[in-house]
A and B are shown apart, each in its own frame.
Chain A
Amino acid sequence: MCTIVPISLTVGANRIVPTIAIPHPLGNPSLTLEEERDIRRNLVGRALRALETEVTEQTVFEK
């Protein structure tokens, strides 16, 4: 899970979930704590889905 997807692609990660921002990849301080948790839930859920998905090459899970 990373914000700067191009770096993850360059260094060779295979399952990539794009995140919010470098200092807070899994949060957004401009939102309420509950809204932030929603974002985080969604992103972690996406990471689990990525882990369950067969891939043959570097894949970015945009959604």
Chain B
Amino acid sequence: MLKVVHYINQFFANVGGEEMAHIPAELREGNVGPGLAFQQAFGDEAQIVATIVCGDSYFNENMEEAQKTIINMVKELQPDLFIAGPAFNAGRYGVACGTIAKAVKDQLNIPVLIGMYKENPGADMFKTSLYVVSTKNSAAGMRDAVKKMAPLALKLAKGEKIGASSEEGYMPNGIRKNFFDTERGSKRAVKMLLNKLVDKEFETEFPMPDFDRVAPNPAVKDITKAKIALVTSGGIVPKGNPDHIESSSASKYGKYDIDGVMDLTEATYETAHGGYDPVYANLDPDRVLPVDILREFEKQGKIGSLHRYFYTTVGNGTAVKSAKAFAAKFAQELKADGVDAVILTST
């Protein structure tokens, strides 16, 4: 049988309200307060072996001390799962649940689950690092909370595959996961539109992303002395695509020597990109990566020099995160090679 340790505050342990919020962490055997409902939901699959009760003020005012004590208690018990809350809309309780659960997860490598109301400050703090089940805003929602938390808790304890947030009931954590909805997309779109038309609440399936910003670099002082590198997401590669860069969702980039190459031709280069009509780029790859003109400028002294290597990948269905990782890596090389400026071409 799976072993579970449950964390709750003084209020849910029936110790008292605000006046008892100062009590330090204590360990009790078996389930306490809401633990009973969890125990019933677990049936004989899991057992709450102990409950840790701690005052909300104590935890938040003595965070380091409290964490150390509780971590030691959990370490002794070696449970298969650590569950905290649900905290509903109690702010300090929510933060305590998140903080201690994260510590247990990080330090003891034990699966954890917490639950709270979406506007609890603890929700924003922890929803991307922990599974946080969305509950109602008061203890009246306990039954509903247990109904959502118990099955997910068992899955976590057993190390089973966790589905999408909307299936499992946890708050969206920024990790997109596929699942089969009950209706097809077009039907969901019609329903969403009908709600939007009458200003009824609707939930977008994909909240718009935030793109990061970087401060512009200072201008190049004298371009006629500058070493310029070429980088492209247009997939230009030596003929035959020697590194097998994928036509879509690239997992890598290529670095190719163009020492002495004056012009990219149909015979020597091509595109590996699967997202645009390749005919034009294959006939004359300079249409994507302008080596010919930069060589001309180099000869005329309009630039200092063209860097010996170009960097290339396929920007087709390639995750922003992958692209960022590629650039972070080769930017270091460019810097080390004394490159002053980069021309980046995209298709």
Stretch with Cβ within 8 A of A (4 or more), from B103-111, B157-165, B283-291: B283-291
Q: Interface with A: B43-51, B119-127, B188-196, B338-346, which one?
A: B338-346
| Residues of B contacting A54 in the complex (Cβ-Cβ under 8 angstroms) | 218-219
Interface size on B (CB < 8 Å)? 41
Mark A1-23 against chain B: 1 for CB-CB distance below 8 A, else 0: 11100001011101100010011
Q: Chain A interface: which of B54-62, B168-176, B209-217, B252-260? A: B209-217
**The one of A27, A57, A58, A59 that contacts B287, using a Cβ cutoff of 8 Å:** A27
Is A24 a contact of B303 with CB atoms below 8 Å?
Answer: no
Contact with B343, one of A22, A23, A47 (Cβ below 8 angstroms): A47
For B290, list chain A residues within 8 Å (CB): 26, 40, 43-44
Which residue of A1, A15, A19 is within 8 Å of B216 (Cβ)?
A15
CA of A35 to CA of B147 in the docked complex: distance in angstroms? 70
Q: In the complex, which residues of chain B have a beta carbon less than 8 angstroms from the beta carbon of A36?
A: 284, 287
Nearest residue in B to A56 (C-beta to C-beta)? B216
B284: nearest chain-A partner, CB-CB = A27
Whether A25 and B345, one on each chain, are in contact in the complex, defined by CB atoms closer than 8 angstroms, is yes
Whether the Cβ atoms of A26 and B296 lie closer than 8 Å is: no
* Chain B hits for A29, CB < 8 A: 280, 283, 287
List CB contacts (< 8 Å) of B329-347 with chain A: 341, 343-347
A57 smallest CB distance to B (angstroms): 7
A14–B347 CB distance below 8 A: no
| Cross-chain contact A40 with B286 (CB below 8 angstroms) | yes
Residues of chain A at the chain B interface (Cβ within 8 Å): 1-3, 8, 10-12, 14-15, 19, 22-27, 29, 33, 36-37, 40-41, 43-45, 47-48, 51-59
Partner-A contacts on B (CB < 8 A):
211-220, 223, 226, 228, 234, 276-281, 283-284, 286-290, 292-294, 296-297, 302-303, 320, 341, 343-347
Top-3 shortest CB links A-B = A27-B287, A14-B216, A24-B280
Q: Provide a sorted-by-A list of 29 A–B residue pairs whose CB atoms are within 8 angstroms.
A: A1-B343, A1-B345, A3-B347, A8-B346, A10-B211, A12-B211, A12-B213, A22-B347, A23-B276, A23-B278, A23-B279, A24-B280, A24-B281, A25-B288, A25-B346, A26-B288, A27-B286, A27-B287, A29-B280, A29-B287, A36-B284, A37-B292, A44-B290, A44-B293, A48-B228, A51-B343, A52-B219, A52-B223, A57-B216
